[in-house]
């Protein structure tokens, strides 16, 4: 991952090379970047070349459609949120300077967007809620009941799931099979007496793979052989099977192509429709604006703003809070 500054530098170099008469092939899925530096584009999908066009003839919309393979009316799926009563309530969560005295609540059926610049403490907050890091102070309430969560194991048992921002290093055991990865947080259920009932595990795994359209060759395929989108779906599948009441998505669409992004958005909406409470951390402002029902903005470990009415909110408004 490059920072914005680094990307500018890279593009500068690319432009220089172009002027020297070099031909360059740039592989990427960030459409803004493609439009910025490319002259001609080839779209690939499922291992085949779909189109070969001058970029001048393309729009963002048409590129996405070619990538996804169907007409895409919207980058974000439509939804009709039905928000219930408070599910998760955090009070005075504190850890050193990274997370300072944060209180928030998420209601069932709600997607709460957590916006902010990199380093604002959003991931750290998520990890505190999940028990992955020790907290200095703060309490967690689920459905009005106080939780004494001190480890991810306890958080999971209570019904909280976390999709980490780095799925390769924290979300999956890459060298293990997709089925084993799916089963890992669910072994309490698949192995009630300590012995894994593989038939239950296998059939449930197949169910999720089919309904979520995870592309795998077989259940023993290693997780590192999947594409980013399919890896992310696999991580989501393992938490869905856990029937978590609260799900925290940390940068759920980072490094994922447009088609899979849309499917992940849809999954999040379905979950919300089922009454789950969802916290979504994202650095992409259009994504936050398109998905969240309510937005909290963080800056230097504190909540600096809340946007209740997302439909009329703008990126500038969020940025205003984010740089505080």
Partner 1 sequence: MPKSKKQHLTHLLTEYGMILVLILLGIFFSLVTLTEQRPSGKKAGLQIASIVKKRFDKEAHILITSRNLAIDQNFYDVLSGSLTSAGFKHIHSVQGTPKDARAKLIELEKQKVKLQVILGNQTTVDWLVFEDITLNFPQLGSPTRIGPSPYKWPNFLKKDNLLNITNQIAVIAIIAVGMTVVIICGGIDLSVGSLIAFSAVLCCLFIQNTAGGLDANAGGMILACIAAIIITGLVGSFTGSMITAFSIPPFIVTLGVMMMASGTAYLMSGGESVYRVPDSFVWLGREASFFGIPNAVFLMMLLYSLAHIMMSRTQLGRYIYAVGGNTEAARLSGVPVKWIQLFAYTLSGLLAGLGGVVMASQLKSGAPTYGQMYELYVIAAVVVGGTSLSGGEGKIFGTLIGAFIIAVIQNGMNLMNIESYTQKVILGMVILIAVLLDKLKQKKFQTS
Residues of the shown chain interacting with partner 1 in the complex, contacts defined by CB under 8 A: 130, 132, 151-153, 156-157, 162, 164, 169-176, 180, 183-185, 187-188, 190-191, 194-196, 217-218, 222, 238
**What 3 state SS string does 274-319 have?**
CCCEEEEECCCHHHHHHHCCEEEEEECCEEEEEECCCCCCCHHHHH
The minimum distance between CB 221 and partner 1, in angstroms, equals 10
For 210-275, the DSSP string reads HHHT---S-TTSBGGGS-HHHHHHHHHHHHHTTT-SEEEEESTTTT--HHHHHHHHHHHHHHHHTT
- Closer by beta carbon to partner 1, 84 or else 134: 134
- Closer by beta carbon to partner 1, 124 or else 293: 124
The minimum distance between CB 322 and partner 1, in angstroms, equals 27
The minimum distance between CB 299 and partner 1, in angstroms, equals 26
The minimum distance between CB 49 and partner 1, in angstroms, equals 22
- Closer by beta carbon to partner 1, 9 or else 243: 243
> What 8-state DSSP symbol labels residue 55?
G
Q: Which helix (H) or strand (E) holds 49?
A: strand 48-54
Whether the Cβ atoms of residue 179 and residue 219 lie closer than 8 Å to each other:
yes
Whether the Cβ atoms of residue 292 and residue 113 lie closer than 8 Å to each other:
yes
The minimum distance between CB 135 and partner 1, in angstroms, equals 16
- Closer by beta carbon to partner 1, 42 or else 225: 225
Place of tokens 């690319």: 14
Six token digits for residue 82: 């039905």
- Closer by beta carbon to partner 1, 110 or else 250: 250
Whether the Cβ atoms of residue 299 and residue 321 lie closer than 8 Å to each other:
yes
The minimum distance between CB 66 and partner 1, in angstroms, equals 27
- Closer by beta carbon to partner 1, 204 or else 293: 204
């Amino acid at each position: 991952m490059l920072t914005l500054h680094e990307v500018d530098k890279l593009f500068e170099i690319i432009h220089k090379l172009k002027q020297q008469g070099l031909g360059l092939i740039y592989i990427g899925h960030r459409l803004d970047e493609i439009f910025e530096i490319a002259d001609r584009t080839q779209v690939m999908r499922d291992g085949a070349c779909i189109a070969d066009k001058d970029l001048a003839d393309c729009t963002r919309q048409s590129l996405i459609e070619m990538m996804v393979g169907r007409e895409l009316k919207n980058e974000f799926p439509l939804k009709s949120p039905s928000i219930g009563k408070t599910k998760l309530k955090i009070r005075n969560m504190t850890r050193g300077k990274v997370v300072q005295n944060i209180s928030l609540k998420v209601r069932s059926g709600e997607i709460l967007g957590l916006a902010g610049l990199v380093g604002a403490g959003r991931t750290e907050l998520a990890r505190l809620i999940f028990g992955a890091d020790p907290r200095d102070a703060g309490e967690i309430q689920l459905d009005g009941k106080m939780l004494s969560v001190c480890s991810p194991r306890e958080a999971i048992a209570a019904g909280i799931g976390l999709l980490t921002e780095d799925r390769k290093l924290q979300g999956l055991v890459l060298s293990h099979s997709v089925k084993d990865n799916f089963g890992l947080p669910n072994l309490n259920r698949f192995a009630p007496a300590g012995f894994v009932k593989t038939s239950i595990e296998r059939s449930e795994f197949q169910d999720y793979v089919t309904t979520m359209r995870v592309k795998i060759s077989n259940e023993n395929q290693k997780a590192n052989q999947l594409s980013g989108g399919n890896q992310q779906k696999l991580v989501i599948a393992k938490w869905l099977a856990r029937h978590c009441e609260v799900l925290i998505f940390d940068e759920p669409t980072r490094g994922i192509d447009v088609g899979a992004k849309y499917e992940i958005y849809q999954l999040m909406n379905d979950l919300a429709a089922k009454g789950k409470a969802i916290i979504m951390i994202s650095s992409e402002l259009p994504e936050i604006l398109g998905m969240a029902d309510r937005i909290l903005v963080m800056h230097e470990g504190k909540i600096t703003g809340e946007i209740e009415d997302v439909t009329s909110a703008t990126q500038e408004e969020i940025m205003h809070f984010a740089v505080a």
